[in-house]
């Protein structure tokens, strides 16, 4: 099923994210985690590509497992910065063969700017969107309510985003944010700029207090004082941080739904326990 169809229905959509195992790591634990995640009936599950140490080679296989074994629509991420046109064409063929209908078109990052001899077939995600748009895939893209860290200011980032959307995107998913006002202000600016496609709100249930400060620094995400106090107080106690992180994320989701947002994407990071607790908290609010 296409994500554009899911988003066009009136109900609330809650989706999850998983990452494939690192190269040479066994696939079974991740397959089991995905099965458990599917058990709480998300609207779709997205599978990252090369992010968080996950190997690209397993993205298609994991997305196929999501769809064929777990009967949940899959969204396969695909990055382009370090790929040639031939590599992208072969990834697309593999996704088609696996029956995947949804692709999150990403630029990705390149720690070694000179890789591939400095030659780029794709400089930005918009170039990937232009390549894929003639196809029937449902295409999503990433967006950054607190500005992409490599862009000088939000206005320029939104202008680039507009070009990416006009290249043929069907929906957007935001970077994580911890203050819903950030999302609402951003959404207003996107609508003012003439970006009208759905913008799925990205929510990160923080379960590791130590990691989050580093991630936020890299991504430019601001930790509001209320949440910083939670991390300061409970960050060193995994069980307390799990409860506090799940509660904070649930409150964010309920507030978003109450204010008319229909779709949230939860960065569940292969943790079914987190997804189960959030969905239990949303019982009666989200129909599964
Ligand atoms: P782009 O949309 O290409 O934007 C990148 C930067 O270039 C921005 O600063 C933008 O303002 C600027 N820009 C765009 N067009 C132009 C132009 N014409 N001229 C000048 N500047 C321009 N990474 C992974 O490796 N794997 C994943 O699976 C993954 N999944 C993600 C999922 C989500 C929802 C999000 C938010 C991010 C994800 N990322 C992933 C991280 C992402 O790859 C990085 O944030 C990357 O730095 C930017 O990717 P993008 O697709 O947003 O790039």
Instruction: List, run by run, the mean pLDDT of 10-residue segments along the chain (288 residues).
Output: 95 96 90 97 96 74 97 97 95 98 96 70 97 97 97 98 98 97 98 98 93 86 93 94 97 98 96 97 89
Q: Is the dihedral of CA 214, 216, 217, 219 positive or negative?
A: positive
265 Cβ below 6 A of ligand 1: no
277 Cβ below 6 A of ligand 1: no
175 Cβ below 6 A of ligand 1: yes
Ligand 1 pocket test target in 47, 109, 142, 156 with most atoms within 8 Å of CB: 142
Nearest CA owner, ligand 1 atom 14: 160
CA–CA separation, 84 vs 132, rounded Å?
A: 14
Beta bridge partner(s), residue 263 = 13
Which numbered atom of ligand 1 lies nearest the CA of 151? Answer: 9
| pLDDT attached to residue 54 | 55
145 Cβ below 6 A of ligand 1: no
Which numbered atom of ligand 1 lies nearest the CA of 143? Answer: 36
77 Cβ below 6 A of ligand 1: yes
Question: What confidence tens digit (pLDDT) does each residue in 209-266 have?
Answer: 888 888 888 888 999 999 999 999 999 999 999 999 999 999 999 999 999 999 999 9
End-to-end CA distance of the chain: 17
Tokens of 145: 């309510």
Averaged confidence pLDDT in the chain: 94
Which numbered atom of ligand 1 lies nearest the CA of 19? Answer: 28
Residues catalogued as catalytic: 17
Beta bridge partner(s), residue 47 = 18, 76
CA–CA separation, 198 vs 165, rounded Å?
A: 11
Calculate how far, in angstroms, residue 127's C-alpha sits from the geometric centre of ligand 1: 12
189 Cβ below 6 A of ligand 1: no
Nearest CA owner, ligand 1 atom 16: 160
């Amino acid at each position: 099923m296409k994500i554009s169809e899911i988003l066009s229905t009136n109900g609330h959509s809650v989706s999850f994210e998983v990452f494939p195992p690192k190269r040479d790591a066994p696939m079974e634990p991740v397959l089991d985690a995905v099965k458990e995640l599917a058990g709480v009936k998300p609207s779709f599950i997205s599978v990252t590509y090369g992010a968080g140490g996950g190997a690209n080679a397993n993205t298609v296989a994991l997305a196929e497992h999501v769809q064929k074994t777990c009967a949940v629509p899959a969204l396969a991420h695909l990055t382009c910065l370090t790929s040639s046109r031939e590599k992208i064409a072969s990834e697309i063929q593999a996704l088609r063969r696996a029956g995947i209908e949804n692709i999150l078109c990403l630029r990705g990052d390149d720690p070694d700017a000179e890789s591939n001899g400095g030659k780029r077939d794709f400089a930005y995600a918009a170039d990937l969107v232009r390549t894929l748009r003639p196809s029937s895939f449902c295409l999503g893209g990433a967006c950054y309510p607190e500005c992409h860290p490599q862009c000088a200011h939000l206005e320029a980032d939104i202008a680039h985003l507009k070009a990416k959307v006009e290249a043929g995107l069907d929906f957007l998913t935001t970077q994580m944010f911890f203050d819903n006002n950030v999302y609402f202000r951003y959404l207003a600016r996107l609508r003012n700029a003439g970006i009208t496609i759905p913008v799925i709100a990205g929510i990160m249930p923080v379960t590791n207090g130590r990691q989050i400060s580093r991630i936020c620094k890299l991504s430019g995400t601001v930790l509001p004082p209320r949440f910083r106090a939670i991390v300061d107080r409970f960050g060193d106690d995994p069980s307390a941080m799990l409860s506090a992180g799940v509660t904070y994320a649930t409150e964010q989701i309920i507030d978003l739904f109450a204010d008319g947002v229909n779709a949230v994407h939860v960065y569940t990071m292969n943790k079914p326990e987190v997804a189960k607790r959030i969905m239990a908290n949303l019982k009666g609010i989200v129909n599964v």
